[in-house]
Chain A
Amino acid sequence: MDFVVQLTINSIIAGSIYTLMALGFNLTYGATKFFNLAHGVMATIAGYTVFYFSSQPLYISIPAGIFAAGLVGYVLDRTIYSPLRKRKASNMVLLVASLGVFTALESLIALKFSSQHQSLPEIFASVPTFNLFGGSFTAIHLLIVASAAVCALGLHALLKYTLFGKAINAVSDDEEVSKIVGINTNRLMGQVFFVGSAIAGVAGILVGFDTVIIPIMGMPLLLKGIIAAIIGGLGSLWGGVLGAFLLGFVENFGIWHISGEWKDVIAFGLLILFLIFRPQGILKKS
Protein backbone atom coordinates (compact mmCIF):
# COMPACT_ATOMS: atom_id res chain seq x y z
CA MET A 1 0.00 0.00 0.00
CA ASP A 2 2.72 2.47 0.98
CA PHE A 3 4.44 1.49 -2.19
CA VAL A 4 1.42 2.45 -4.26
CA VAL A 5 1.32 5.83 -2.54
CA GLN A 6 4.99 6.38 -3.21
CA LEU A 7 4.60 5.40 -6.86
CA THR A 8 1.69 7.80 -7.15
CA ILE A 9 3.74 10.61 -5.68
CA ASN A 10 6.63 9.81 -8.00
CA SER A 11 4.24 9.78 -10.95
CA ILE A 12 2.88 13.19 -10.08
CA ILE A 13 6.37 14.65 -9.75
CA ALA A 14 7.46 13.17 -13.08
CA GLY A 15 4.20 14.30 -14.69
CA SER A 16 4.85 17.83 -13.47
CA ILE A 17 8.34 17.95 -14.99
CA TYR A 18 7.04 16.53 -18.26
CA THR A 19 4.21 19.07 -18.16
CA LEU A 20 6.72 21.89 -17.97
CA MET A 21 8.58 20.50 -20.99
CA ALA A 22 5.41 19.81 -22.98
CA LEU A 23 3.86 23.25 -22.38
CA GLY A 24 6.54 25.19 -24.20
CA PHE A 25 7.05 22.54 -26.83
CA ASN A 26 3.35 22.59 -27.69
CA LEU A 27 3.26 26.36 -27.71
CA THR A 28 6.07 26.72 -30.24
CA TYR A 29 4.86 23.73 -32.22
CA GLY A 30 1.37 25.23 -32.47
CA ALA A 31 2.65 28.52 -33.82
CA THR A 32 5.41 27.24 -36.12
CA LYS A 33 4.36 23.64 -36.88
CA PHE A 34 7.86 22.26 -36.60
CA PHE A 35 9.51 20.02 -34.02
CA ASN A 36 11.90 22.35 -32.25
CA LEU A 37 14.39 19.86 -30.84
CA ALA A 38 16.48 22.68 -29.41
CA HIS A 39 13.69 23.03 -26.85
CA GLY A 40 15.51 20.47 -24.67
CA VAL A 41 18.70 22.47 -24.36
CA MET A 42 16.73 25.46 -23.03
CA ALA A 43 16.31 23.52 -19.79
CA THR A 44 20.07 22.98 -19.69
CA ILE A 45 20.80 26.64 -20.36
CA ALA A 46 18.57 27.74 -17.51
CA GLY A 47 20.11 25.22 -15.11
CA TYR A 48 23.62 26.31 -15.97
CA THR A 49 22.74 29.98 -15.75
CA VAL A 50 21.61 29.43 -12.16
CA PHE A 51 24.86 27.55 -11.59
CA TYR A 52 26.86 30.39 -13.17
CA PHE A 53 25.23 32.87 -10.81
CA SER A 54 25.77 30.59 -7.80
CA SER A 55 27.30 33.45 -5.83
CA GLN A 56 24.13 35.50 -6.28
CA PRO A 57 21.00 35.07 -4.20
CA LEU A 58 18.41 32.71 -5.68
CA TYR A 59 15.92 35.48 -6.28
CA ILE A 60 18.40 36.78 -8.84
CA SER A 61 19.87 33.58 -10.24
CA ILE A 62 16.56 31.77 -10.79
CA PRO A 63 14.87 34.58 -12.77
CA ALA A 64 18.16 35.03 -14.64
CA GLY A 65 18.07 31.35 -15.60
CA ILE A 66 14.49 31.51 -16.81
CA PHE A 67 15.18 34.72 -18.71
CA ALA A 68 18.35 33.30 -20.28
CA ALA A 69 16.44 30.31 -21.65
CA GLY A 70 13.73 32.60 -23.04
CA LEU A 71 16.29 34.92 -24.56
CA VAL A 72 18.23 32.12 -26.24
CA GLY A 73 14.97 30.76 -27.63
CA TYR A 74 14.09 34.19 -28.97
CA VAL A 75 17.52 34.76 -30.49
CA LEU A 76 17.51 31.33 -32.13
CA ASP A 77 14.21 32.16 -33.75
CA ARG A 78 15.43 35.52 -35.00
CA THR A 79 18.78 34.32 -36.28
CA ILE A 80 18.05 30.80 -37.53
CA TYR A 81 14.41 29.74 -37.73
CA SER A 82 12.96 33.01 -38.98
CA PRO A 83 15.37 33.33 -41.94
CA LEU A 84 14.66 29.68 -42.77
CA ARG A 85 10.90 30.31 -42.67
CA LYS A 86 11.32 33.32 -44.92
CA ARG A 87 13.10 31.10 -47.42
CA LYS A 88 10.14 28.71 -47.17
CA ALA A 89 12.30 25.93 -45.76
CA SER A 90 10.35 22.75 -45.04
CA ASN A 91 9.57 21.69 -41.49
CA MET A 92 12.06 18.87 -41.94
CA VAL A 93 14.82 21.40 -42.62
CA LEU A 94 13.80 23.33 -39.52
CA LEU A 95 13.82 20.15 -37.45
CA VAL A 96 17.31 19.25 -38.60
CA ALA A 97 18.49 22.81 -37.96
CA SER A 98 17.07 22.66 -34.44
CA LEU A 99 18.85 19.35 -33.82
CA GLY A 100 22.07 21.02 -34.91
CA VAL A 101 21.40 23.89 -32.52
CA PHE A 102 20.70 21.43 -29.72
CA THR A 103 23.99 19.60 -30.26
CA ALA A 104 26.04 22.76 -30.66
CA LEU A 105 24.67 24.46 -27.55
CA GLU A 106 25.02 21.29 -25.49
CA SER A 107 28.66 21.00 -26.56
CA LEU A 108 29.33 24.64 -25.77
CA ILE A 109 27.91 24.15 -22.29
CA ALA A 110 30.10 21.08 -21.77
CA LEU A 111 33.16 23.03 -22.98
CA LYS A 112 32.48 25.86 -20.60
CA PHE A 113 31.37 23.91 -17.54
CA SER A 114 32.88 20.43 -18.16
CA SER A 115 30.78 17.41 -18.99
CA GLN A 116 30.60 16.35 -15.33
CA HIS A 117 27.49 16.93 -13.32
CA GLN A 118 27.32 19.87 -10.96
CA SER A 119 25.14 20.89 -8.05
CA LEU A 120 23.07 24.02 -7.85
CA PRO A 121 23.18 26.11 -4.68
CA GLU A 122 20.88 24.92 -1.91
CA ILE A 123 17.35 26.29 -1.81
CA PHE A 124 16.90 25.00 1.70
CA ALA A 125 19.59 24.61 4.35
CA SER A 126 18.17 21.13 4.86
CA VAL A 127 15.40 20.13 2.48
CA PRO A 128 12.14 19.57 4.38
CA THR A 129 10.57 16.18 3.78
CA PHE A 130 6.88 15.44 4.07
CA ASN A 131 5.01 12.23 4.66
CA LEU A 132 1.59 11.56 3.25
CA PHE A 133 -0.30 8.26 3.63
CA GLY A 134 2.99 6.46 3.98
CA GLY A 135 4.70 8.06 0.99
CA SER A 136 7.31 10.78 1.19
CA PHE A 137 8.33 13.76 -0.88
CA THR A 138 10.48 16.84 -0.44
CA ALA A 139 9.76 20.54 -0.49
CA ILE A 140 11.49 20.69 -3.87
CA HIS A 141 9.05 18.14 -5.21
CA LEU A 142 6.26 20.31 -3.94
CA LEU A 143 7.84 23.23 -5.74
CA ILE A 144 7.96 21.19 -8.95
CA VAL A 145 4.27 20.35 -8.79
CA ALA A 146 3.33 23.93 -7.88
CA SER A 147 5.46 25.35 -10.72
CA ALA A 148 3.84 23.05 -13.25
CA ALA A 149 0.41 24.11 -12.03
CA VAL A 150 1.30 27.80 -12.10
CA CYS A 151 2.84 27.57 -15.58
CA ALA A 152 -0.06 25.60 -17.02
CA LEU A 153 -2.69 27.90 -15.53
CA GLY A 154 -0.65 30.98 -16.40
CA LEU A 155 -0.26 29.89 -20.00
CA HIS A 156 -3.93 29.04 -20.17
CA ALA A 157 -4.81 32.52 -18.91
CA LEU A 158 -2.38 34.12 -21.36
CA LEU A 159 -3.96 32.30 -24.30
CA LYS A 160 -7.52 32.83 -23.17
CA TYR A 161 -7.57 36.35 -21.77
CA THR A 162 -4.94 38.42 -23.54
CA LEU A 163 -4.89 39.70 -27.10
CA PHE A 164 -1.32 38.42 -27.36
CA GLY A 165 -2.53 34.94 -26.43
CA LYS A 166 -5.47 35.08 -28.82
CA ALA A 167 -3.08 36.14 -31.55
CA ILE A 168 -0.92 33.09 -30.77
CA ASN A 169 -4.00 30.88 -31.16
CA ALA A 170 -4.88 32.66 -34.38
CA VAL A 171 -1.42 32.06 -35.82
CA SER A 172 -1.61 28.40 -34.79
CA ASP A 173 -4.91 28.16 -36.64
CA ASP A 174 -4.09 30.01 -39.84
CA GLU A 175 -0.86 31.88 -40.28
CA GLU A 176 -1.80 33.55 -43.57
CA VAL A 177 -5.10 34.93 -42.32
CA SER A 178 -3.32 36.11 -39.17
CA LYS A 179 -1.10 38.23 -41.36
CA ILE A 180 -4.10 39.54 -43.23
CA VAL A 181 -5.65 40.87 -40.01
CA GLY A 182 -2.40 42.65 -39.22
CA ILE A 183 -0.51 40.27 -36.95
CA ASN A 184 3.22 40.44 -37.55
CA THR A 185 3.44 36.67 -37.38
CA ASN A 186 7.18 36.56 -37.64
CA ARG A 187 7.65 38.80 -34.64
CA LEU A 188 4.96 36.96 -32.74
CA MET A 189 6.77 33.66 -33.29
CA GLY A 190 9.91 35.16 -31.75
CA GLN A 191 7.87 36.10 -28.69
CA VAL A 192 6.34 32.64 -28.59
CA PHE A 193 9.82 31.15 -28.58
CA PHE A 194 10.71 33.36 -25.65
CA VAL A 195 7.75 32.18 -23.59
CA GLY A 196 8.06 28.51 -24.54
CA SER A 197 11.79 28.39 -23.92
CA ALA A 198 11.44 30.18 -20.59
CA ILE A 199 9.01 27.50 -19.39
CA ALA A 200 11.48 24.79 -20.42
CA GLY A 201 14.00 26.77 -18.38
CA VAL A 202 11.80 26.39 -15.30
CA ALA A 203 11.90 22.61 -15.79
CA GLY A 204 15.69 22.59 -16.10
CA ILE A 205 16.19 24.64 -12.96
CA LEU A 206 13.83 22.49 -10.91
CA VAL A 207 15.48 19.27 -12.07
CA GLY A 208 18.79 20.86 -11.12
CA PHE A 209 17.58 21.64 -7.63
CA ASP A 210 16.05 18.20 -7.23
CA THR A 211 19.09 16.30 -8.48
CA VAL A 212 22.05 17.74 -10.39
CA ILE A 213 22.72 19.53 -13.65
CA ILE A 214 24.73 17.95 -16.43
CA PRO A 215 25.19 19.12 -20.03
CA ILE A 216 23.36 16.09 -21.44
CA MET A 217 20.27 16.64 -19.27
CA GLY A 218 18.36 18.27 -22.13
CA MET A 219 17.76 15.23 -24.31
CA PRO A 220 15.83 13.06 -21.85
CA LEU A 221 13.74 16.07 -20.84
CA LEU A 222 13.08 16.91 -24.49
CA LEU A 223 12.05 13.36 -25.34
CA LYS A 224 9.67 13.08 -22.41
CA GLY A 225 8.19 16.46 -23.27
CA ILE A 226 7.69 15.44 -26.88
CA ILE A 227 6.15 12.09 -25.95
CA ALA A 228 3.77 13.88 -23.57
CA ALA A 229 2.88 16.40 -26.29
CA ILE A 230 2.25 13.72 -28.91
CA ILE A 231 0.18 11.38 -26.76
CA GLY A 232 -1.74 14.36 -25.40
CA GLY A 233 -2.47 15.84 -28.83
CA LEU A 234 0.13 18.07 -30.49
CA GLY A 235 -0.40 21.78 -30.04
CA SER A 236 -2.98 21.39 -27.27
CA LEU A 237 -2.06 22.88 -23.90
CA TRP A 238 -4.23 20.63 -21.71
CA GLY A 239 -3.60 17.68 -23.98
CA GLY A 240 0.08 18.07 -23.20
CA VAL A 241 -0.65 18.18 -19.47
CA LEU A 242 -2.77 15.02 -19.69
CA GLY A 243 -0.09 13.34 -21.78
CA ALA A 244 2.58 14.31 -19.27
CA PHE A 245 0.72 12.79 -16.34
CA LEU A 246 -0.28 9.69 -18.27
CA LEU A 247 3.37 9.22 -19.16
CA GLY A 248 4.45 9.86 -15.58
CA PHE A 249 2.02 7.28 -14.20
CA VAL A 250 2.59 4.61 -16.83
CA GLU A 251 6.36 4.95 -16.47
CA ASN A 252 6.39 4.77 -12.70
CA PHE A 253 3.78 2.07 -12.25
CA GLY A 254 5.26 0.16 -15.18
CA ILE A 255 8.45 -0.47 -13.26
CA TRP A 256 6.63 -1.66 -10.15
CA HIS A 257 7.94 -5.21 -10.40
CA ILE A 258 10.86 -4.64 -12.72
CA SER A 259 14.06 -2.67 -12.82
CA GLY A 260 13.98 1.11 -13.28
CA GLU A 261 16.00 0.78 -16.48
CA TRP A 262 12.76 -0.20 -18.19
CA LYS A 263 11.32 3.29 -17.77
CA ASP A 264 12.41 4.56 -21.17
CA VAL A 265 11.32 1.35 -22.86
CA ILE A 266 7.89 1.84 -21.32
CA ALA A 267 7.78 5.52 -22.29
CA PHE A 268 8.61 4.85 -25.92
CA GLY A 269 6.35 1.82 -25.94
CA LEU A 270 3.51 4.11 -24.90
CA LEU A 271 4.46 6.56 -27.63
CA ILE A 272 4.44 3.83 -30.26
CA LEU A 273 1.07 2.53 -29.06
CA PHE A 274 -0.34 6.02 -29.46
CA LEU A 275 1.27 6.55 -32.85
CA ILE A 276 -0.35 3.35 -34.07
CA PHE A 277 -3.75 3.47 -32.40
CA ARG A 278 -4.42 7.15 -31.68
CA PRO A 279 -1.97 9.31 -33.60
CA GLN A 280 -3.98 12.46 -32.96
CA GLY A 281 -3.42 12.04 -29.21
CA ILE A 282 -5.84 12.18 -26.31
CA LEU A 283 -7.17 15.66 -27.04
CA LYS A 284 -7.23 16.14 -30.75
CA LYS A 285 -6.35 19.53 -32.14
CA SER A 286 -6.70 19.27 -35.87
Chain B
Amino acid sequence: MQKNLLETQHVSVQYGGVNALDDVSVVIGEGEIVALMGPNGAGKSTVIKSMFGLAPIASGEVLLHGEPYVPIPHNIVHKSVSYVPQGRRVFTHLSVEENLEIGGYIVKDKSLVKDRIAAAYDLFPDLKAKRDKYSGTLSGGQQQMLAIARGLMTDPKVLLLDEPSLGLAPKIVKEVFELVSKINEERHTAILIVEHNLQSLLPIAHRAYVLDHGKVIIEGDAQKVASGDILERIFMGTYKPTH
Protein backbone atom coordinates (compact mmCIF):
# COMPACT_ATOMS: atom_id res chain seq x y z
CA MET B 1 0.00 0.00 0.00
CA GLN B 2 1.33 3.38 -1.00
CA LYS B 3 1.59 5.87 1.84
CA ASN B 4 -0.22 9.19 1.67
CA LEU B 5 2.24 11.97 2.30
CA LEU B 6 0.12 15.06 2.00
CA GLU B 7 -3.57 15.49 1.31
CA THR B 8 -6.57 17.75 1.61
CA GLN B 9 -9.70 16.10 2.95
CA HIS B 10 -13.01 17.74 2.04
CA VAL B 11 -11.38 21.15 2.07
CA SER B 12 -13.45 24.20 1.28
CA VAL B 13 -11.92 27.63 0.94
CA GLN B 14 -13.91 30.81 0.80
CA TYR B 15 -12.92 34.28 -0.26
CA GLY B 16 -15.52 36.83 0.78
CA GLY B 17 -18.30 34.25 0.91
CA VAL B 18 -17.43 32.86 -2.53
CA ASN B 19 -16.21 29.27 -2.68
CA ALA B 20 -12.79 29.01 -4.27
CA LEU B 21 -12.66 25.33 -3.25
CA ASP B 22 -15.66 23.18 -2.48
CA ASP B 23 -15.11 19.87 -0.72
CA VAL B 24 -11.80 19.11 -2.39
CA SER B 25 -9.85 15.97 -1.53
CA VAL B 26 -6.48 15.69 -3.22
CA VAL B 27 -3.93 13.08 -2.19
CA ILE B 28 -0.21 12.98 -2.88
CA GLY B 29 1.25 9.55 -2.29
CA GLU B 30 4.84 8.52 -1.79
CA GLY B 31 6.97 8.85 -4.91
CA GLU B 32 4.22 9.66 -7.36
CA ILE B 33 3.69 12.46 -9.83
CA VAL B 34 0.20 13.86 -9.51
CA ALA B 35 -1.21 16.23 -12.09
CA LEU B 36 -3.66 18.91 -11.05
CA MET B 37 -5.44 20.34 -14.04
CA GLY B 38 -8.32 22.59 -14.87
CA PRO B 39 -9.15 25.95 -16.45
CA ASN B 40 -8.01 29.30 -15.12
CA GLY B 41 -9.63 30.19 -11.83
CA ALA B 42 -10.62 26.58 -11.14
CA GLY B 43 -8.86 26.66 -7.77
CA LYS B 44 -5.66 24.78 -8.56
CA SER B 45 -3.35 27.22 -6.83
CA THR B 46 -5.74 27.44 -3.93
CA VAL B 47 -5.41 23.68 -3.35
CA ILE B 48 -1.66 24.11 -2.81
CA LYS B 49 -2.11 27.28 -0.77
CA SER B 50 -4.56 25.50 1.50
CA MET B 51 -1.94 22.82 2.15
CA PHE B 52 0.50 25.57 3.10
CA GLY B 53 -1.78 27.59 5.34
CA LEU B 54 -1.89 30.37 2.77
CA ALA B 55 -5.60 30.08 2.01
CA PRO B 56 -8.41 30.36 4.57
CA ILE B 57 -9.83 26.87 5.10
CA ALA B 58 -13.53 27.12 5.95
CA SER B 59 -14.04 23.39 6.45
CA GLY B 60 -12.19 20.15 5.96
CA GLU B 61 -8.60 19.51 6.90
CA VAL B 62 -5.08 18.95 5.70
CA LEU B 63 -3.44 15.62 6.50
CA LEU B 64 0.27 15.01 6.71
CA HIS B 65 1.29 11.34 6.68
CA GLY B 66 -2.36 10.59 7.33
CA GLU B 67 -2.51 12.73 10.47
CA PRO B 68 -4.47 15.98 10.77
CA TYR B 69 -2.11 18.91 10.39
CA VAL B 70 -2.81 22.59 10.87
CA PRO B 71 -0.57 24.21 8.28
CA ILE B 72 1.51 27.24 9.22
CA PRO B 73 3.28 28.62 6.15
CA HIS B 74 6.79 28.80 7.57
CA ASN B 75 6.53 25.43 9.34
CA ILE B 76 5.47 23.01 6.66
CA VAL B 77 8.85 23.14 4.91
CA HIS B 78 10.22 21.51 8.07
CA LYS B 79 7.94 18.56 7.24
CA SER B 80 9.86 17.95 4.03
CA VAL B 81 7.35 19.68 1.77
CA SER B 82 8.50 22.32 -0.73
CA TYR B 83 6.35 24.66 -2.73
CA VAL B 84 7.36 26.41 -5.93
CA PRO B 85 4.63 28.99 -6.44
CA GLN B 86 3.15 30.13 -9.70
CA GLY B 87 4.89 32.96 -11.55
CA ARG B 88 8.61 32.19 -11.03
CA ARG B 89 8.78 34.10 -7.79
CA VAL B 90 12.51 34.26 -7.26
CA PHE B 91 13.98 36.83 -4.88
CA THR B 92 14.98 39.34 -7.52
CA HIS B 93 17.25 41.39 -5.24
CA LEU B 94 19.24 38.35 -4.23
CA SER B 95 21.81 36.66 -6.42
CA VAL B 96 21.21 33.21 -7.86
CA GLU B 97 23.39 31.68 -5.17
CA GLU B 98 21.70 33.67 -2.41
CA ASN B 99 18.33 32.44 -3.63
CA LEU B 100 19.60 28.89 -3.20
CA GLU B 101 21.00 29.68 0.24
CA ILE B 102 17.62 31.05 1.28
CA GLY B 103 16.07 27.90 -0.16
CA GLY B 104 18.16 26.05 2.41
CA TYR B 105 17.25 28.51 5.17
CA ILE B 106 15.94 25.82 7.51
CA VAL B 107 18.81 23.42 6.89
CA LYS B 108 20.95 23.57 10.03
CA ASP B 109 24.01 21.91 8.56
CA LYS B 110 25.42 24.60 6.27
CA SER B 111 27.90 22.24 4.65
CA LEU B 112 24.86 20.32 3.45
CA VAL B 113 23.57 23.55 1.93
CA LYS B 114 26.87 23.94 0.08
CA ASP B 115 26.63 20.39 -1.24
CA ARG B 116 23.09 20.93 -2.41
CA ILE B 117 24.00 24.17 -4.14
CA ALA B 118 26.70 22.24 -5.98
CA ALA B 119 24.14 19.57 -6.84
CA ALA B 120 21.75 22.24 -8.09
CA TYR B 121 24.48 23.59 -10.37
CA ASP B 122 25.01 20.10 -11.75
CA LEU B 123 21.31 19.83 -12.45
CA PHE B 124 21.10 23.37 -13.87
CA PRO B 125 24.42 24.35 -15.48
CA ASP B 126 22.87 27.64 -16.65
CA LEU B 127 22.48 28.73 -13.06
CA LYS B 128 26.09 28.04 -12.24
CA ALA B 129 27.23 30.46 -14.92
CA LYS B 130 25.00 33.12 -13.37
CA ARG B 131 25.57 32.34 -9.72
CA ASP B 132 26.58 35.89 -8.76
CA LYS B 133 23.99 37.67 -10.90
CA TYR B 134 20.84 39.12 -9.41
CA SER B 135 18.08 36.67 -10.18
CA GLY B 136 15.99 39.55 -11.50
CA THR B 137 18.31 39.64 -14.50
CA LEU B 138 17.73 35.99 -15.50
CA SER B 139 15.53 34.90 -18.39
CA GLY B 140 12.10 33.49 -17.59
CA GLY B 141 13.26 29.93 -18.12
CA GLN B 142 16.28 30.40 -15.90
CA GLN B 143 14.13 31.96 -13.20
CA GLN B 144 11.83 28.96 -13.30
CA MET B 145 14.82 26.64 -13.01
CA LEU B 146 16.06 28.69 -10.07
CA ALA B 147 12.65 28.56 -8.39
CA ILE B 148 12.63 24.78 -8.73
CA ALA B 149 16.24 24.48 -7.59
CA ARG B 150 15.42 26.64 -4.59
CA GLY B 151 12.55 24.31 -3.74
CA LEU B 152 14.92 21.33 -3.85
CA MET B 153 17.37 22.80 -1.34
CA THR B 154 15.65 21.08 1.57
CA ASP B 155 15.70 17.75 -0.30
CA PRO B 156 11.92 17.48 0.13
CA LYS B 157 9.84 14.31 0.00
CA VAL B 158 7.00 16.30 -1.53
CA LEU B 159 7.39 19.00 -4.13
CA LEU B 160 4.46 21.19 -5.12
CA LEU B 161 4.93 22.87 -8.49
CA ASP B 162 2.43 25.49 -9.56
CA GLU B 163 2.36 26.03 -13.34
CA PRO B 164 6.10 25.68 -13.90
CA SER B 165 5.70 26.01 -17.67
CA LEU B 166 3.65 29.20 -17.72
CA GLY B 167 5.06 31.72 -20.15
CA LEU B 168 8.00 29.57 -21.21
CA ALA B 169 8.99 28.61 -24.73
CA PRO B 170 7.96 25.06 -25.76
CA LYS B 171 11.55 23.85 -25.83
CA ILE B 172 12.10 25.02 -22.28
CA VAL B 173 8.79 23.54 -21.18
CA LYS B 174 10.05 20.21 -22.43
CA GLU B 175 13.22 20.62 -20.40
CA VAL B 176 11.24 21.47 -17.28
CA PHE B 177 9.15 18.33 -17.59
CA GLU B 178 12.13 16.13 -18.26
CA LEU B 179 13.61 17.55 -15.14
CA VAL B 180 10.48 16.92 -13.09
CA SER B 181 10.54 13.34 -14.26
CA LYS B 182 14.21 13.02 -13.42
CA ILE B 183 13.79 14.43 -9.92
CA ASN B 184 10.94 12.03 -9.31
CA GLU B 185 12.89 9.00 -10.53
CA GLU B 186 16.24 9.76 -8.99
CA ARG B 187 15.14 11.14 -5.65
CA HIS B 188 11.82 9.41 -5.34
CA THR B 189 10.28 12.81 -4.66
CA ALA B 190 6.50 12.95 -4.75
CA ILE B 191 5.44 15.79 -7.01
CA LEU B 192 2.15 17.59 -7.33
CA ILE B 193 2.23 19.59 -10.50
CA VAL B 194 -0.33 22.13 -11.59
CA GLU B 195 -0.40 22.41 -15.31
CA HIS B 196 -2.23 23.71 -18.30
CA ASN B 197 -0.07 21.89 -20.69
CA LEU B 198 -1.72 18.48 -21.00
CA GLN B 199 0.47 16.96 -23.68
CA SER B 200 3.65 17.43 -21.70
CA LEU B 201 2.26 16.51 -18.35
CA LEU B 202 0.08 13.45 -18.79
CA PRO B 203 2.84 11.20 -20.11
CA ILE B 204 4.91 11.68 -16.97
CA ALA B 205 2.09 11.85 -14.42
CA HIS B 206 0.87 8.80 -12.54
CA ARG B 207 -2.43 10.19 -11.41
CA ALA B 208 -4.46 13.24 -12.28
CA TYR B 209 -7.14 15.43 -10.83
CA VAL B 210 -9.26 17.77 -12.86
CA LEU B 211 -10.70 20.74 -11.06
CA ASP B 212 -13.45 23.04 -12.25
CA HIS B 213 -15.15 25.84 -10.35
CA GLY B 214 -13.52 24.71 -7.13
CA LYS B 215 -14.68 21.09 -7.39
CA VAL B 216 -12.82 17.92 -8.31
CA ILE B 217 -14.70 16.62 -11.33
CA ILE B 218 -12.38 13.83 -12.43
CA GLU B 219 -9.67 11.91 -10.70
CA GLY B 220 -7.80 8.78 -11.48
CA ASP B 221 -5.09 7.17 -13.50
CA ALA B 222 -3.39 9.78 -15.65
CA GLN B 223 -3.57 7.70 -18.83
CA LYS B 224 -7.31 7.16 -18.44
CA VAL B 225 -7.91 10.83 -17.78
CA ALA B 226 -5.88 11.58 -20.86
CA SER B 227 -7.76 9.17 -23.08
CA GLY B 228 -11.26 10.59 -22.68
CA ASP B 229 -12.45 13.71 -24.38
CA ILE B 230 -13.66 15.16 -21.12
CA LEU B 231 -10.57 17.30 -20.70
CA GLU B 232 -11.11 19.02 -23.98
CA ARG B 233 -14.72 19.62 -23.17
CA ILE B 234 -13.77 21.24 -19.88
CA PHE B 235 -11.24 23.47 -21.45
CA MET B 236 -13.60 24.34 -24.26
CA GLY B 237 -16.25 25.17 -21.68
CA THR B 238 -18.79 22.67 -23.03
CA TYR B 239 -18.58 20.33 -20.05
CA LYS B 240 -21.81 20.09 -18.04
CA PRO B 241 -21.92 18.26 -14.72
CA THR B 242 -24.48 15.45 -14.83
CA HIS B 243 -26.34 16.35 -11.67
Q: Which of A35-43, A73-81, A182-190, A210-218 is found at the contact surface with chain B?
A: A182-190
Contact B94 A182 (CB under 8 A): no
Contact B94 A176 (CB under 8 A): no
User: Known contacts A166-B94, A176-B85: does B102 contact A184 (CB below 8 Å)?
Assistant: no
Task: State the interface size on chain A (CB cutoff 8 A).
Answer: 19
The residues of A that contact B106 with a CB separation of less than 8 Å are 181-182
The residues of B that contact A285 with a CB separation of less than 8 Å are 93
Interface flags, B71-103, vs A, CB<8A=1, else 0: 001110110001101000101111000100111
User: Known contacts A163-B101, A176-B54: does B74 contact A183 (CB below 8 Å)?
Assistant: yes
Q: Contact check: which of B52, B94, B101 meets A180 at CB < 8 Å?
A: B52
Contact B74 A179 (CB under 8 A): yes
Flag whether A167 is at the interface (Cβ < 8 A): yes
User: Known contacts A166-B98, A167-B102, A183-B105: does B74 contact A177 (CB below 8 Å)?
Assistant: no
Question: Complex: how many Å from CA A71 to CA B103?
Answer: 30
Chain A residue nearest to B107 in the complex (CB): A182
Flag whether A195 is at the interface (Cβ < 8 A): no
The residues of A that contact B98 with a CB separation of less than 8 Å are 166, 169
Flag whether A12 is at the interface (Cβ < 8 A): no
Contact B78 A177 (CB under 8 A): no
User: Known contacts A179-B73, A180-B52, A181-B102: does B83 contact A169 (CB below 8 Å)?
Assistant: no
Question: Complex: how many Å from CA A183 to CA B73?
Answer: 9
Majority secondary structure of chain B interface residues (helix, strand, loop or mixed): loop
Question: Complex: how many Å from CA A169 to CA B83?
Answer: 20
Flag whether B44 is at the interface (Cβ < 8 A): no
Contact B150 A181 (CB under 8 A): yes
Contact A173 B74 (CB under 8 A): no
Q: Contact check: which of B52, B85, B93, B154 meets A173 at CB < 8 Å?
A: B93
Q: Contact check: which of A163, A172, A185 meets B74 at CB < 8 Å?
A: A185
Contact A180 B85 (CB under 8 A): yes
Contact A166 B89 (CB under 8 A): no
Contact B54 A166 (CB under 8 A): no
Flag whether A174 is at the interface (Cβ < 8 A): yes
Which residues 150-207 of B have a CB within 8 angstroms of A? Answer: 150, 154
Question: Complex: how many Å from CA A166 to CA B134?
Answer: 13
Flag whether A207 is at the interface (Cβ < 8 A): no
Q: Contact check: which of A166, A176, A185 meets B102 at CB < 8 Å?
A: A166
Contact B85 A182 (CB under 8 A): no
The residues of B that contact A222 with a CB separation of less than 8 Å are none
Contact B91 A180 (CB under 8 A): no
User: Known contacts A180-B83, A181-B150, A182-B105: does B91 contact A170 (CB below 8 Å)?
Assistant: yes
Chain B residue nearest to A171 in the complex (CB): B91
**Nearest 6 CB-CB pairings of A with B:** A179-B73, A182-B106, A182-B77, A173-B91, A179-B74, A184-B74
Q: Which residues of B contact A (CB under 8 A)?
A: 52, 54, 73-75, 77-78, 82-83, 85, 89, 91-94, 98, 101-103, 105-106, 150, 154
Q: Which residues of A contact B (CB under 8 A)?
A: 163, 166-167, 169-170, 172-174, 176-185, 285
Q: A167-B105, A181-B77 are in contact. List 5 more A-B contacts (CB 8 A).
A: A166-B98, A170-B102, A176-B85, A178-B102, A180-B74
